[in-house]
Structure 1
Amino acid sequence: MRFHTRKWVKPEDLNANGTLFGGKLLAWIDEEAALYSIIQLENKRVVTKYMSEINFMSTALKGDIVEIGIDVVKFGKTSLTLNCEVRNKMTRETIVTVDNIIMVNLGADGKPKPHGKTKIEFVRDRLASEA
C-alpha cells in the first residue's frame, strides 16, 4: 500500500467523544480517492460510484497525524476500483479500511466514458515518454 497523504487531526475534526469524527475521515478518503483517480485517468471528471463496507478499527486524537493509503484493485472499462487503509502515524494502528471504492471516469456530457488505462502510471514515466 502506498500512503500518499497525511492529515493532522485538529479540534474541528473531532466528535463529541474527543476523537476523530468518522464523517470527516470518510470525506478525506473520498477526496484522496478522487485525486488519485484524476491523476491516474488523466481526467478531472471523475466521480465516486461506490464504497464498500467501511471497517473502523481504531481512532485518532487531536494532534495525531493520520496517513491515507490507496491501492488499485482493478481497471474497468470506465472505472477504477481502489482499496484504502488509513493508519495513525503516531500509534501505527490501522484506523479504517475500505476494500472497494469504485471511481467512474466521465466524459464532457457527464456520462461514463472509457478511459483506456490498464495499469498504474507514474507521472515520472509519463514525463519520460513525452521527452
Structure 2
Amino acid sequence: MNYHTRKWVKPEDLNPNQSLFGGRLLQWIDEEAALYAVIQLENKKVVTKFISEINFVSSAKQGDIIEIGIEVSGFGSTSLTLKCDVRNKMTHQTIITVDKIVMVNLDENGNPAPHGKTKVEFVKDRLSKQIPE
C-alpha cells in the first residue's frame, strides 16, 4: 500500500466524542480516490460509483497525523477499482479500511467512457517517454 496523503486532525474534524468524524474521513478518502483515478486514467472527469463496506478499526484524536493509502485492485473497461487503508502516521495503527472503491471514467458528455488502461502507470514513467533523447 502506498500512502500518498497525510492529514492533521484538527478541532473542526471532530465529532461530539472528540474523535475524528467518520464523515470527514470518508470525504478525504473519496477525494484521494478521485485524485488517484484522475492521475491513473489521465482524465479529470471521473466519478465515484461505489464504495464498499467501511471498517472503522480505531479512532483518531485531535492532533493525530493520519495517512491515506490507495492501491489499484483492478481495471474495468470504463472503471478503476481501488482499495484504501487509513492509518495513524506515528503508530501505523489502522484507523479504517475500505476494500473496494469504484471510480468511473467519463467522456465530455458525462457518460462512462473506455479508458484503455490495463496496468498502473507512474507519472515519472510517462514524463520520461515524452522527453526526446
TM-score by length of 1: 0.99
1:92: Cα distance to partner?
A: 1.8
Matched, 1:56 2:53: no
Map 1:32-43; keep pairs closer than 5 Å.
32-43=32-43
Q: What are structure 2's unaligned runs of at least 5 residues?
A: none
Q: What are structure 1's unaligned runs of at least 5 residues?
A: none
Could you list the per-position Cα deviations for residues 40-76 of structure 1 after superposition, in whole angstroms to 9, with x for gaps in the alignment? 0000000000000000000111000000000000010
Letter matched to residue 124 of structure 2: R
What secondary structure is seen at the aligned counterpart in 1 of 2:116?
coil
Aligned to 2:68: 68
- Distance in structure 1 (CA, Å) of the matches to 2:16 and 2:90: 22
Aligned to 2:86: 86
Map 1:105-116; keep pairs closer than 5 Å.
105-116=105-116
Q: Calculate the aligned-residue CA RMSD, in Å.
A: 0.5
1:89: Cα distance to partner?
A: 1.2
Aligned to 1:27: 27
- Distance in structure 2 (CA, Å) of the matches to 1:51 and 1:32: 13
Count of residues paired in the alignment: 131
Structure 1 stretches of at least 4 aligned residues deviating more than 3 Å after TM superposition = none
- Distance in structure 1 (CA, Å) of the matches to 2:91 and 2:75: 33
- Distance in structure 2 (CA, Å) of the matches to 1:91 and 1:16: 24
TM-score by length of 2: 0.97
What secondary structure is seen at the aligned counterpart in 2 of 1:83?
strand
